[in-house]
Amino acid sequence: MQAIRSILVVLEPEHSESLALKRAKLIAGTTGARLHLLVCDKKHEHSALLSLLKSGLTEDGYSVTTEQAWNTSLHETIIEVQQAEGCGLVIKQHYPDSPLKKALLTPADWKLLRYCPVPVLLVKTATPWNDGVILAAIDVGNTDTEHRALHHMIIDYGFDIASLAKASLHVISAHPSPMLSAGDPVFQLKETIEARYREQCKAFQATFDIDDAHLHIEEGPADVLIPHAAYTLKAAVTIIGTVARTGLTGALIGNTAEVVLDALESDVLVLKPQALTDQLEKLANKA
């Protein structure tokens, strides 16, 4: 996170308080990153607001630029501006859609998570980050090269946020329930599954210096356990990684991040491995 030199902050003028801007100021105050304020607006009716925000932020010592833009859809506009400005992080406030709307249309924030080449922070609450809990969700059982790189990224971001917010970092990893039909006998018994995960966790803990008190290994589906752990720990931020599925057209996010987005009572930071980022960069540049 320290390497991020520019942050894209998506503003929604109809909401009086921008939680996205609040988070951006906290991060930029530590990293010195430039804030690029964006209003996605076809009519460009918010010049006065952007000018006022820029003036106040500049007086407070922030480096600020502003823009009003629109290109076909909300997520495409955000990604186009992110690419043009070279922003390394997108911050946007999340407003949940109704179940009916989600059933009929793919939510704009889901599309943003799927196609944005850089990390996306969706802000959901006004809960202060300072002195809070940062929850990093990983899959210890996946040890292929791509997942290991993603684990490194998730934990690095977790430590960075914990450092700037003077918070504590906790890690959650879910392991599957036993299945008698599993081809590998290890996955047929709860005891053998848990033993394997505990063994893998020892190596993980040694690599990232995570003690037992800050590591939570649970049995069950990740999309249930992650929100439960975030609620129990009163997490201010939950960090989730995603790896592209093979065999699908384009680069699609694993659905865990989408499913847990509305279930989580915390801000959500979604990260992608370098290979997926590179693929999405190419897609964005072709658009």
What would the pLDDT profile of 27-52 be if each residue is shown by its tens digit? Answer: 999 999 999 999 998 888 899 999 99
124-128, 250-254, 261-265, range with greatest mean pLDDT: 124-128
Mean per-residue pLDDT for 173-193?
A: 57
Lowest mean pLDDT among 135-149, 164-178, 186-200: 186-200
* 57 in the same domain as 157: no
Mean per-residue pLDDT for 175-193?
A: 55
Please, which pLDDT band fits residue 245 given cuts at 50, 70 and 90?
very low
82 pLDDT above the threshold of 50:
yes
| Tally of domains in the chain | 2
* 177 in the same domain as 234: yes
- Tell me, what CATH number does 59's domain have? 3.40.50.620
* 139 in the same domain as 63: no
Residues 6+ away with beta carbon under 8 Å from 174 = 139, 217, 218, 219, 220, 221, 222, 225, 226
User: Which residues span the domain enclosing 159?
Assistant: 133-286
Structural Rg of the chain based on CA atoms: 20
79 pLDDT above the threshold of 90:
yes
Which of 93, 122, 152 marks a domain boundary? Answer: 93
